[in-house]
Each structure stands twice: as structure tokens, then as C-alpha cells.
Structure 1
Amino acid sequence: MSFGQMPPGWIAAGGLTEFSGGAGVSGRMLAAAKCYLAIAGYRMAQTDDTVLSTSDFQAVTGLSKPMIFEGLTILDSMELITIDSRFAANTNAYRVGDLTAGFRKVPQDILAECLPLIPNRGIGGLDAVKLYIALLYYRDEATHSATVSHQSLRTITGIRPENITKAYSVLHTAGLVVVERMSSWSSNGGHPMNVYRLKGDFVGRRARVLRPTEQRRKSRATAKVAPWAQ
């Protein structure tokens, strides 16, 4: 299959709010969030593991080696991943947690192309990655879209109200998300709702899981247009 999986429980419990920005912190938290997406997106269903090298992380996140190390250290300290460092030189096996109570899909095919386009500095990049994880959490399996209000997004991510639209703009520019309908009204509380269409393969059209470095080489050799222009 060409999508990975992540457990939803930590997101529902407000775990995204722990990825908070600030002077000297936002860059490391952004690295952690990007590394989490990489691990979840390339999870192997047969073993529950994600086997990635440092070069793989660089390919799928656009992060430097020191920031990858920082990000993985934060994820480990937050107990969002477990790390088996005995796999091979410069390559570890990672797990994102228990999926028996449910999971959310992470589209593998688009990550290595689009995730590096999210800036690796500043609160804007951090907010964008947090928003993307939240939209994956809210995504409807039948429509591949997330229908959610700004208020719900603010609550689950901790993003400041004035930064939600900015974060979406970063995701849209990177080619990960498109708003299909703006400001319909919910029946619960009367809050305006947006419909966000998440791009990528959520149905498993590809049978083989490609390592990120291999995937990027193949995509560059065959792609004629950027994924967000298709």
C-alpha cells in the first residue's frame, strides 16, 4: 500500500498543542513534527515498523542531519515513537504507537515531494505541519476531505486564531491541501466550516512501499508537472 498510518488518540487528547513555538524552540518542534509524519507515512503494515535512514529522513522532510536528530529526540521524549537502533548503520526502525484502537492514513506518495517545501524555520512552518496532521485526523474516509471549523482546528492544534489561514496558505502552496468549499455553517454551535481536500493516495493504488530516497529519484525522473498542478 502507498499510505502509512498514525494513531489518533494522542491528537484527540491535545498532543499537537505540545508542539509549541517560541524563541529557539519552534525549529526543533517543527523538525519533530516533520519526522513524525515521515515515520507514520512510511510505516510497513506487515511489521508495524518504519525503517528509515538519515538520508531517507532528509529526502522526505528537507531537514538537516542535526535537526533530524533533534526532532527524533523530542519525539522519543514525548513518547510518540519508539526507536530500535540495532537495525543497520545510519538506519533505525521506528514505531508510532498502538493502532489497534484505530488509525488515520498518511499519504506516502506525496510526502517526499511536498513536505520539503514547507519552510524549516519559523512558527509558520510549524503551524502548517500541525495543521496538516490535524486535517489528516479529521479527514473523512469516504470523501478524502476534512470538514472542520477554525475553532475546532485552533482547539486541537493550539495554533493562534490569526495564524490558521497563514498555515493553510503554506500547505496549499506546498501542494498538500486545497479548500473545496469555504464557510458553510455547522449545526452545532453555528461555527463556520471549511472543506479541505487532502491530496495524495489514501486508497493504496501502489502495492510497493518505496523508500523516500528511491521515491524521490523515481518521481523526478518521471514527473512532468508538480503534484499540485495535476
Structure 2
Amino acid sequence: MSGRIKQPNRDLQWVRMPTWWASRPEIHEALADAPAGDAIAALKLYLGLCANANRKPTDRLPRTGSVAATLSEWSAFLGLSRPMVVAGLSLLVRLELIERLQVRPSIYRLVRYEDIGYWTRLPHQHLAVSRASGTLQKLVDMTNRSVTTLHALQLYVYLASIRDRKTLQARVSYTKLTDTLHMSRASVARGLSILVNHDLVNMRQNDYDPVLKRKMAGVYWLKGRIGAVGEDELLGPAGENQLLDAATSDPPVADRLPSNYADHLP
């Protein structure tokens, strides 16, 4: 049997990720209570399922949001050991984030994959790095042995889930991050550092407002394009770094986008 997952979305710029669960503190508390390696595997596998989920029914996969893959294929795709794959999939099932449709061959499905209004776009090509690699290389490059990796992955899915449809930015305070993700401020800072170092997120943090006399919420955005209408105008020739200037520019970024821009984002 081939050592690679049959990737229906390999050439797509973006893939769909359900977001209904990403802001629920009880989910993140359960991830924090699980062994770190199991929770890391679970979140890597969740992103891997998003990367490979079928968007249209097929004879092999009649329900959308499904993936058929062996333990060895998941292991190669995400850089996980086979025991970690087993533990990660089991944790996702217990948390009711995925459901197991079939044992042999093994088929899993993302829960609430088709929910209108509860999904976002992930920058698939950016995560994969190379179409020929057959992996999600950005995730493979993240160690499976550190709780900081878990915190980084939690932050990644959460920021993706709250990203504004018009600006592609997520504005959120440290207090909100710590309360939702069940981690300390120091853990948030270390997790964000990992995301920046792995070229997954850019950020502008805690500007001081002299009028309100307090620090403002941080501004974060995922690296990589998602094929949105108006994205070229938003990112400009400077790429994603253009967003850093746009975060505080006048007029707002959204004012420069086509009027139907939001209609083309989840």
C-alpha cells in the first residue's frame, strides 16, 4: 500500500476548517489535561484531516469532510509516530471533534464540517510548503515533545477561527487568550513565539492608547494566502507584511476592498 494519503486537495490554495469548537474553553481544558504528546498529535491530525477532507461526495467517501488513511500514511503526512496517531485520533473522537465512520479501511470525518457560518479558510499551500512533499511540512517541523508546541497549535486554530472576514486579522487580548485557551500569559507568549518562528503567524502586540490610557488588544494574522477576492489588494506587493501597516493605517483596510469581499470569505 502507498505510504502517502490520497490528497484530493493537494493543489488547492486553501482548505476548510470547522470553527464551532475552537472558542470553547472546555475543549482547550480537555487538551491541557491530556498528555501533551496526545494533544499535540490530536491538533496536528485535526489540521491534517482538514487538509485532506473531501469537499464533494464520492463512491469511496459518500459523506463530505471525510478522510481515508492508514496509520502509516498519517505518520508520514504529519511527522507523528504510529502510537501518537492512535492516541491523537482517539482523543479527537472522545472530544467529539471527529467521528469514526469505518474501521477497515479507517475513515474519519470532521464533525459539523458543513455547518454554515462555522468554518474558516486555512492556507493549505503555505502549510504544505511544497506540493510534491506529500506532507504538511510546517507541522512536521514542529516538535512533538514540548507542551509549547501544544500551546502554539491551540493558538493557531483559535486565531484562525476568530479572524475578521474583511481584514483577515484577529484582534484579541491576552486575557481573552488565557481564559479561552486554558493557559498562562507566559504560555501564550511562548506559543506565539513558536508560531512566528515557524512562519505561521505575524502579529502586532499591545500598542498603548494614550487616550484610553491602556494597552490595546494584539493584532494577529495567519501567514499564507487563502484565495480570497480582494486579497491581492489587501496584501499588496509586499506580501503578508503589508497587513502590519494596514492594521493601523487610515483609511481602514476594509474601505479599500471590493464591496463584495466579505461574501467570498467564510
Q: TM-score band, normalised by the shorter chain? A: 0.7 to 0.9
Q: 1:29 aligns with which of 39, 48, 59?
A: 39
The ranges of structure 1 where at least 4 consecutive aligned residues each deviate by more than 4 angstroms after the TM superposition are: 185-191
What amino acid is aligned across from residue 56 of structure 2 in structure 1? Q
Which sections of structure 2, spanning at least 5 residues, go unmatched? 1-11, 58-63, 128-135, 230-239, 241-266
Partner residue in 2 for 1:7: 18
Check 1:113–1:73 CA distance in 2 against 1; reply closer, same or farther (3 A cut). same
* Larger mean Cα displacement after TM superposition, 161-170 or 42-51: 42-51
> Could you say which structure has the higher strand fraction?
1
| Superposition RMSD in Å | 2.8
Deviation per CA, 1:158-192, whole angstroms, max 9, x where unpaired? 1211111100111111111111x221368999553
Partner residue in 2 for 1:40: 50
Decide whether the 8 Å contact of 2:123 with 2:226 is kept in 1.
yes
1:164-179 to structure 2, matched below 5 A, reads 164-179=188-203
* Larger mean Cα displacement after TM superposition, 187-196 or 100-109: 187-196
In 1: Cα distance, 2:214 partner to 2:113 partner: 35
Deviation per CA, 1:88-117, whole angstroms, max 9, x where unpaired? 4xx524223253242122222223121112
In 2: Cα distance, 1:2 partner to 1:51 partner: 19
Deviation per CA, 1:103-136, whole angstroms, max 9, x where unpaired? 1222222231211122101211111111111111
User: Shift of the alpha carbon at 1:45?
Assistant: 2.0
1:22-171 to structure 2, matched below 5 A, reads 25-47=35-57, 48-53=64-69, 54-85=71-102, 88=105, 91-102=106-117, 103-111=119-127, 112-171=136-195
Scaled by the length of structure 1, the TM-score of the pair is 0.76
In 1: Cα distance, 2:212 partner to 2:182 partner: 21
Check 1:86–1:115 CA distance in 2 against 1; reply closer, same or farther (3 A cut). same
* Larger mean Cα displacement after TM superposition, 160-169 or 52-61: 52-61
Decide whether the 8 Å contact of 1:35 with 1:72 is kept in 2.
yes
Does the alignment pair 1:16 with 2:40? no
Larger RCO, structures 1/2 (Cα 8 Å, 6+ apart): 1
> Could you say which structure has the higher helix fraction?
1
Q: Please identify the structure whose Cα radius of gyration is greater.
A: 2
Partner residue in 2 for 1:182: 205
Identical aligned pairs, as a percentage? Answer: 26
Check 1:189–1:13 CA distance in 2 against 1; reply closer, same or farther (3 A cut). farther
In 2: Cα distance, 1:59 partner to 1:194 partner: 35
In 2: Cα distance, 1:194 partner to 1:27 partner: 29
What amino acid is aligned across from residue 184 of structure 1 in structure 2? D
SS across alignment from 2:192: helix
* Larger mean Cα displacement after TM superposition, 128-137 or 13-22: 13-22
Check 1:56–1:143 CA distance in 2 against 1; reply closer, same or farther (3 A cut). farther
